[in-house]
Amino acid sequence: SDLIRSNSAAIGEQGMWALHNWLTDAFRQDKPWDRIVRELITAKGSTFSNGPANYFRIASNPQDLTEATSQLFLGVRLQCCKCQNHPFEPLTQTDYYAFAAFFARVGNKPSQEFGLFGNETVILNRPDGEVSHPKTGKVLPPTPLRGKPVDPKADRRRELADWLTAKDNPYFARNLANRLFAYLMGRGLVDP
């Protein structure tokens, strides 16, 4: 919850408890980490009854989702690529905005299922939405970091979840190993 930045100020009391209870249940069931991440990335529906959907309220636009997802699940900080090429990594501004395209079609709408003052939000996939490179204006297809573009007509978040949790992803397992090592030893193998 702390890494995801779940708190009642950002997502409300009911959203925070929905996410907290979902995470608690996932750990009680000994759900594999790749399934937890897949459920977070592909979540949709009510933020009150589907805890993972709150991930898209905590970070609510393609750029924030890009930065949170890359740091949380890949161990890569992409913030500086928003304005320029990364100074220490082989990542470019194009990589940043092509990755952001995975989240360009995430939408939300209010719901009154829990009453007019419930402030429930429903997360959904919109049929349109693109991300353009800020310097060239070119619309970028959704592309994993250092990977090949995916079909822009496919469910983009499902494609991202497939890539994130794939066995040949060079970032996912290393990131988790580093986080666990830091938890156990007080400092990660790679420490910011």
pLDDT at 140: 95
Q: Is the pLDDT of residue 132 over 80?
A: yes
Mean pLDDT, the chain, rounded, equals 89
What pTM did the predictor assign? 0.89
pLDDT above 70: percentage of residues in the chain = 96
pLDDT at 87: 73
CB contact set of 78 (below 8 Å; sequence gap of 6+): 66, 67, 70, 71, 86, 91, 95, 96, 99
- The tokens describing 125, both together, are 């996939």
**DSSP letter assigned to residue 190:** S
pLDDT digits (tens, 9 = 90+) for 151-168: 988 899 999 999 999 998
Q: Is the pLDDT of residue 113 over 90?
A: no
- Residues 106/125, Cβ–Cβ less than 8 Å: yes
CA 118 and chain centroid, separation: 25
Backbone φ and ψ for 22, nearest 5 degrees, come out as -65, -45
Burial (0-12, 13-18, 19+ Cβ within 10 Å), 90: exposed
pLDDT at 6: 85
What is the band of 118 on the pLDDT scale with cuts at 50, 70, 90?
A: low
Mean pLDDT of the region 44-56: 93
pLDDT digits (tens, 9 = 90+) for 65-111: 999 999 999 988 888 888 778 777 788 899 999 999 999 999 998 87
What is the rounded distance in angstroms from the CA atom of residue 65 to the CA atom of residue 164? 14
- Residues 160/142, Cβ–Cβ less than 8 Å: yes
pLDDT at 80: 82
- The tokens describing 63, both together, are 């750029």
Mean pLDDT of the region 2-12: 83
